[in-house]
């Protein structure tokens, strides 16, 4: 396990290439493990980073209550195929006097960006640092955070970062709930209600497959499914262009269905790409 930038640099100096990077905030689950496995299958060295990035939390309580379990994380990362695990402190990621930010434009404005001011600037700043320090050939991100994936891709292209950004599919619980480190914070009743996100996405996908191409109708189908669950408090539902994230009216072509829903103190997101 590596702690400082110097330890990371030393470990990477003679690491066999290609190098795959899997950035995480820890509390690792099978979703993270799937990214590490994928990296294992495509690289000779796999580096996982675990850092709960204070800059990407727009709510202090969410940051403070974010689950942390370093020992279990190191075990799961190793069992999933990571060769190196970097667990920096805040001062290792943001050295003394730090004053740089990376901000992506219009893609960061809707959806998660509108709901969580400052979130994406925190994400792109830390990911730029991680990509710079690791100099990886490939970096692995989950489709679970679909907007994050688009924003990171845009940033890497815009800044000429040589690391290829690889998208990995969403890993779900048997009842359809997307795996998330925040799921452990749900009460038993909230946990039982949470698969409604998946049901809402599938309801909209169902009418899409039957030929519906009005974004308004797909959003209405998701809202209707969510309304059937009293513990679910939707923050947004979206049927948008999967590249620009601009909301669809009548459309022709692919779409990204996505939503953020609160259950008590816990905020969950999920999405479904339509071909
Ligand atoms: P996090 O630790 O939540 O920042 O997530 C680290 C990476 O794991 C991100 O690229 C996420 O999109 C990805 N990830 C989180 N949950 C899942 C999941 N259920 N399936 C696939 N990837 C995931």
Predicted TM-score (pTM) of the model is 0.98
Indicate the DSSP class of residue 214.
Answer: B
For the chain, which residues score pLDDT lower than 70?
Answer: none
Active site residues: 32
Residue-wise pLDDT tens digits, 114-125: 999 999 999 999
Sign of the Cα torsion 91, 161, 124, 46 reads negative
Which residues line the pocket of ligand 1, CB cutoff 6 A?
A: 24-25, 31-32, 34-35, 141-142, 144-145, 168, 170-171, 178-181
The CA distance from 132 to 130, in Å, is: 5
Residue identifier of the C-alpha nearest atom 18 of ligand 1: 31
179 C-alpha to ligand 1 centroid (Å): 8
Which stretches of the chain are DSSP H helices?
Answer: 5-13, 30-42, 60-65, 70-80, 90-93, 112-115, 119-134, 146-158, 188-193, 196-209, 215-227
Q: What is the pLDDT of residue 187?
A: 98
SS3 of residue 113 by DSSP:
helix
215 C-alpha to ligand 1 centroid (Å): 27
Residue carrying structure tokens 């679970």: 144
Question: Which atom of ligand 1 lies closest to the CA of 170?
Answer: 20
Q: What is the pLDDT of residue 213?
A: 98
Q: Ligand 1 pocket test: which of 20, 23, 25, 31 has the largest number of ligand atoms within 8 Å of its C-beta? A: 31
The CA distance from 218 to 212, in Å, is: 8
Residue identifier of the C-alpha nearest atom 7 of ligand 1: 24
206 C-alpha to ligand 1 centroid (Å): 26
Q: What is the pLDDT of residue 268?
A: 98
Q: What is the pLDDT of residue 206?
A: 98
Residue 77, preceding bond cis, omega within 30 degrees? no
């Amino acid at each position: 396990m590596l702690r400082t930038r110097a330890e990371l640099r030393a470990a990477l100096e003679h690491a066999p290439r290609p190098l795959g990077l899997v950035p995480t905030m820890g509390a690792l689950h099978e979703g993270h493990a799937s990214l590490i496995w994928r990296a294992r299958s495509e690289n000779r060295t796999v580096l996982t980073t675990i850092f709960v990035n204070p800059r990407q939390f727009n709510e202090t309580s969410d940051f403070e209550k974010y689950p942390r379990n370093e020992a279990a994380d190191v075990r799961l990362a190793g069992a999933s195929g990571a060769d190196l695990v970097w667990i920096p402190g805040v001062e290792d990621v943001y050295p003394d006097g730090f004053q740089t930010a990376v901000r992506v434009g219009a893609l960061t404005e809707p959806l998660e960006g509108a709901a969580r001011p400052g979130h994406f600037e925190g994400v792109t700043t830390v990911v730029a640092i991680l990509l710079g320090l690791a100099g990886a050939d490939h970096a692995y991100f989950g489709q679970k955070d679909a907007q994050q994936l688009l924003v990171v891709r845009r940033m890497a292209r815009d800044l000429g970062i040589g690391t290829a950004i690889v998208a990995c599919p969403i890993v779900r619980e048997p009842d359809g709930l997307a795996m998330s480190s925040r799921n452990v914070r749900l009460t038993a009743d909230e946990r039982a209600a949470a698969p409604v996100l998946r049901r809402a996405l599938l309801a909209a996908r169902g009418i899409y497959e039957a030929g519906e191409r009005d974004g308004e109708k797909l959003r209405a189908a998701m809202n209707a499914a969510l309304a059937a669950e009293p513990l679910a408090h939707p923050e947004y539902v979206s049927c948008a262009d999967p590249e620009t994230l601009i909301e669809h009216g009548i459309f022709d072509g692919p779409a990204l269905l996505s939503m953020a829903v609160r259950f008590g103190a816990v905020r969950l997101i999920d999405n479904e790409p339509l071909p």
